[in-house]
Structures are given as C-alpha cells and as structure tokens.
Homo-oligomer: A and B are copies of this chain.
Amino acid sequence: MRQSKLFTKTKKETPSDEVAKNAQLLIQAGYVYKNMAGAYSFLPLGLRVIEKINSIIREEMNGIGGVEMHMPSLQEERLWKQTDRWGDDNVDVWFKTELKAGGEVGLAWTHEEVVTDIMRQYVSSYKDLPFAAYQIQTKFRNEIRAKSGIMRTREFLMKDLYSFSANEEQHKEFYDTCADAYTRIFDRLGIGSQTYKTFASGGAFSKFSHEYQTLAEAGEDVVYVCEEKGIAVNKEVLEDVDLAELGVTREELVERKSIEVGNIFSLGTKFSDSIGLTFKNEAGDNTPVIMGSYGIGPARAMGTVVDLLADDKGIVWPESIAPFRVHLVALNTDDDEIRDWANGIYTSLQKLGVEVLFDDRDTRPGEKFADSDLLGIPYRVVASKRGKEDGLFEVVTRATGEVRSLTEAELFDDFSA
C-alpha cells in the first residue's frame, strides 16, 4: 500500500488524555482513534493488525475442530432470567435499552446463554457430541471506568468458543486441546515467552479455571510465578491451590503484575441445566450437556504486544501480526528517475507476495525515518539516490536495529523466502 493513499498521519505528540502506553503509541502512529472513553476506532493500519490476530486465532480454533458462527448483541431477558444473570444486582456490566416496540433488551457481554439456547435445536443424541463452536464478535460491557487504553473498553471484539461434551472425559480432552491451542496462539502473537497458563478462580462451576497471564508492568492483575518451572498462580487463588501438587514451593513463586490475555473455563452443567440443553445417552436417558467456554480479546492481545515490545522510538510488531512486513522508504523522490525506480522496487516486492507499505510521500528523510520507527513495521528498506548509485539498499530490522546493505538481487531473495 502507498502511504500517500493512507488517510492517517502520525502525530508529533502523544495524546494527553491517555495514560496507557499502548493507546498513546497506537493513537500517535494512527492505528486507532479514541471516539469516547472506552470506544476506539481501528484505522486502516490498526484493522490490519486486528485481522492478522483474528486469522491466527481462527486457524488455531479451526485446527481443533471449532466451527465458526456469529451471534447477535441484542438480547431479551428470557434466557438470562433462567440463569439469574439478567438483574443488575448480579451482573454489573449490562447495557440495557428499550425497544420501540416495547420491552427491554440488553447488549450481550458474553454468550453462554445464547449459544446454549441455540444448541437445544441441534443436540439430541450422544452421537451429536462432542463439538465446539466459536465466534469473533463485538461484546459490550458497561465498565464504570474504561482503562488501560485499548485493553479494557466498553465495546470490544472477542473470540469466544464454547464446547459441548457428553461426559467429563470428552470435556477434559477438549479443554486440554484448547489449552494447547491457546499456548500456540500466544507464541504466534510474539508474547509466548512471557505468557503463563495460570491457575485462577473457577467461579461457580468448577474449583479452578485457567487464565493466560502475560507478565507486564502495565498489567492490572497480580500473579505468583516461577519462571523456571513455567508455573503461575493468580493471587486470588494462591491460598486455595495445593502448591505441592503443582510441584512448586511458595518460596519459588515471585509476585508479578500481569495482563489477562485469555481464559478457559469448565462450565459443567450450569448452563445446560438452567436452559435445558440435554441429550439422550447410549442408555436412552436424558442427560445435561457438559460445557466449557474459552475467550481471547484480539484488541487486548494487540495492546499487550505494544506494551511489551515497544521501545523509546515507537511500536515494534512481531512479523506475525505486523500490518505490513516491509516498510519501503523512498528518499529523493523529487528526482523523477529515483521516484520511478523506487516505484519499480515497490511493484517487484509486491509481485513476490511481500506485504509492503511504501512511503512515497514528499517528506524530509528525518521525518520518514521517525515515522517508520513509530509505525514499527519489521523491516525498513531504504531506496535512495545514493543507494541506487551504489546498487545497495539499506535494510533495518526494527526489533534489533540491525542494519544490512543488500543488492537488489539479495533484497528480493531475502524477502521472497
């Protein structure tokens, strides 16, 4: 994409009304726009990052047999009364509104009730189980205080997967399979080494659940972690966990701040009992379905990556979720010959299948380099008059600062890999 065709621009200053590093940098670089407290727009570069994160999540969820669907936000009270989650006394994040046709509706902040109700149409026999369905859909939560930039907002995309099993063995098998998929997802997002599968409160349904916590100073959560053994426990349940069973002592656990980037829950028969999702087992008896739920917020993952990997010059994207792989920065574009030549390099890289952002603007070199650092695209390739004369391109790796000089043949060879 040509940068001249991108309507966004970087800003000189960080926004004064944001305290979170992720939002400061993402707004300054033109990835997101703050519409109100807790509601952001994803501008073209930001949407590209979100879509790359979604693709990774989708691949891994499809890989474990998840089937994608899409459920609505608008909700009538009927189902939620059955699980006692309609009242504002029980759930403090509802947005409720009135239908002009009469009656109150809420905006879904989660979808357990909804998906359980839908599956009543389709599950009747043990032969229909197990299976898993997921969506990547917008949730609304009426947070008293939106905070941490794009990480805790009032409207946000969420991948929520729900599993349906005939018995505990089936459930356990899927739960563990999904846990492994989550580990792969955070690895692929570039935050795997700092992300721990963490023992957490199970809520009403089971003794423990698991969260995926990424160690970060900007985190809202507190975990106790033994990095060496790869074991982490949420502060909330430290007293309840049998540390000996986990193979760790209290002394080995260090208190750290962290960001919850995912969670997986055994729901037992809580929802299938309340909403009436049953199946006939092999003996012909009506039996409640055993469920699990598994969530990841793509924008929260994006914010975590920014918070964790950014440096004093700006954002640093891992290749897997960068909006583009290469930032081709053309200098001396007032010279027609250089401009045509840089255009040719852009076209050639695109033909090789490389995702390129092409800075074809008539701007000073210093401004171009500063913008490039701020945007955080993994490789900067500089096409300049001097480079053309020498037959060399300067290639800078954003994450490490490594600088290489490549011939045109080497450049194409390097990026066609």
Contact = CB atoms under 8 A, between A and B. Distances in A.
Interface of A: 5-9, 30, 33, 35-44, 46-47, 50, 65, 67-76, 92, 95-97, 99-101, 105, 107, 114, 117-119, 121-123, 128, 131, 133, 138, 140, 142-145, 154-155, 164
B96 A97 contact: yes
Given A76-B36, A97-B97, A5 B118 contact: no
Nearest to A154: B74
A33 B7 CA distance: 39
B37 A143 contact: no
B107 A100 contact: no
A59 to B, nearest CB: 15
A67 to B, nearest CB: 5
B138 A73 contact: yes
17 contacts: A5-B67, A7-B119, A7-B123, A7-B131, A33-B121, A35-B71, A35-B72, A35-B76, A35-B118, A43-B118, A44-B69, A72-B155, A73-B138, A73-B140, A92-B100, A100-B142, A101-B145
Contacts of A114: 35, 41
Chain A interface, >50% SS class? mixed
A200 to B, nearest CB: 25
B44 A9 contact: no
Contacts of A65: 5
A74 B164 CA distance: 33
A133 B97 CA distance: 30
Closest 3 A/B residue pairs (Cβ): A39-B72, A42-B70, A97-B97
Given A7-B119, A40-B72, A100-B143, 8 more contacts: A5-B67, A36-B75, A36-B76, A41-B118, A44-B133, A72-B155, A101-B144, A101-B145
A348 to B, nearest CB: 21
Contacts of A117: 35
Nearest to A76: B36
A74 B121 contact: no
Contacts of A43: 69, 118
Contacts of A123: 7
A73 B7 contact: no
Given A44-B67, A118-B41, A122-B8, A155 B73 contact: yes
Contacts of A74: 35-36, 38-39, 140, 154-155
Contacts of A72: 35-36, 39-41, 155
A332 B142 CA distance: 55
A146 to B, nearest CB: 8
A388 B78 CA distance: 52
A144 B100 contact: yes
Contacts of A122: 7-9, 30
Nearest to A41: B71
Nearest to A50: B70
A411 to B, nearest CB: 27
Nearest to A67: B44
Given A122-B8, A144-B100, A41 B67 contact: no
A155 B105 CA distance: 12
Contacts of A100: 92, 142-144
B67 A42 contact: no
A77 to B, nearest CB: 10
A38 to B, nearest CB: 7
A71 B107 CA distance: 17
A313 to B, nearest CB: 22
Contacts of A50: 70
A96 to B, nearest CB: 6
A191 to B, nearest CB: 23
Contact of A68 (B47, B92, B119): B47
B6 A67 contact: yes
Contacts of A142: 97, 99-100
A204 B42 CA distance: 30
Contacts of A8: 122
